[in-house]
Amino acid sequence: MTNLILFVNAFLSYFLLFLFIIVLVIVACIIGVKWRKSKDAKIAVVADAEADTVEGNTTA
């Protein structure tokens, strides 16, 4: 019985560690996607401003 309790204790400890790592990976992916979308939006704004300047429209 003691061995079973030790096994369950070790299993739950590693399972909780596994869940923690999975949550960290998910959070990191969400943050990465948000940062990428923000960077792409900034690049699009700069590209639009440069396109307006090249065309001669400096009303922005």
User: What angle (nearest 5°) sits at the alpha carbon of residue 14, between those of residues 12 and 20?
Assistant: 100
Q: What is the pLDDT of residue 11?
A: 97
User: What angle (nearest 5°) sits at the alpha carbon of residue 43, between those of residues 38 and 49?
Assistant: 130
What does the alpha-carbon distance between residue 21 and residue 47 come to, in Å, rounded to a whole number?
39
Res. 2: pLDDT tops 60: yes
Which is more confidently placed, 60 or 19? 19
Going from the C-alpha of 25 to that of each of 17, 22, 54, the distances in angstroms are 12, 5, 43
Task: Specify the pTM.
Answer: 0.69
Q: Note the pLDDT tens digit of each residue in 3-56.
A: 999 999 999 999 999 999 999 999 999 999 999 999 999 998 888 887 777 666
Q: What is the pLDDT of residue 50?
A: 79
